[in-house]
Amino acid sequence: MNKKPRSGHATFYITTPIYYVNDTPHIGHAYTTVAADVLARYHRALGEDVFFLTGVDEHGQKVAEAAAKTGISPKEHVDKMVVSFQDLLMKLNISNNDFVRTTESRHQETVKNVLMALWKKGEIYEGVYEGWYCIPDERFFPEKDLIDGKCPDCHREVSPLSEKNYFFKMGKYQNELRKYVPIPGFIEPSSRRNEILGFLEKPLGDLCISRPKSRLSWGIPIPFDPDYVTYVWFDALVNYISMRGYDGTPSSLKGKWPADIHLVGKDILTTHAVYWSTMLMALGLPLPKKIFAHGSLLFVTRGSVWR
Q: Which residues bind Zn ion (CB under 5 A)?
A: 134, 137, 151, 153-154
Minimum CB–partner distance for residue 150 and Zn ion (Å): 8
User: Between residues 138 and 206, which has the closer beta carbon with respect to Zn ion?
Assistant: 138
Minimum CB–partner distance for residue 47 and Zn ion (Å): 45
Sign of CA dihedral 234, 269, 265, 48: negative
Q: How far apart are CA 125 and CA 250, in angstroms?
A: 24
User: Between residues 51 and 132, which has the closer beta carbon with respect to Zn ion?
Assistant: 132
User: Between residues 146 and 200, which has the closer beta carbon with respect to Zn ion?
Assistant: 146
Minimum CB–partner distance for residue 98 and Zn ion (Å): 31
Half-sphere exposure of 106 (CA within 13 A, CB side): 12
Minimum CB–partner distance for residue 67 and Zn ion (Å): 21
Minimum CB–partner distance for residue 93 and Zn ion (Å): 35
User: Between residues 26 and 156, which has the closer beta carbon with respect to Zn ion?
Assistant: 156
User: Between residues 137 and 163, which has the closer beta carbon with respect to Zn ion?
Assistant: 137
Sign of CA dihedral 209, 212, 218, 219: positive
The answer to whether the CB of 271 falls within 8 A of the CB of 139 is no
CB count within 10 Å of CB 112 equals 18
User: Between residues 129 and 186, which has the closer beta carbon with respect to Zn ion?
Assistant: 129
Render 162-228 in DSSP notation, one character per residue: EEEEEEE--GGGHHHHHHHTTSTTSEESHHHHHHHHHHTTSPP--EE-EEETTT---SPBPTT-TTE
Q: Three-state SS for 154?
A: coil
Minimum CB–partner distance for residue 152 and Zn ion (Å): 8
User: Between residues 46 and 154, which has the closer beta carbon with respect to Zn ion?
Assistant: 154
191 CB-near residues (< 8 Å, 6+ apart)? none
Minimum CB–partner distance for residue 151 and Zn ion (Å): 3
Per residue, what are the HEC states of 17-73? Answer: EEEECCCCCCHHHHHHHHHHHHHHHHHHHCCCEEEEEEEEECCCHHHHHHHHHHCCC
User: Between residues 13 and 20, which has the closer beta carbon with respect to Zn ion?
Assistant: 20
Q: Three-state SS for 11?
A: strand
Nearest to 86 by CA among 22, 131, 25, 141: 25
Minimum CB–partner distance for residue 37 and Zn ion (Å): 30
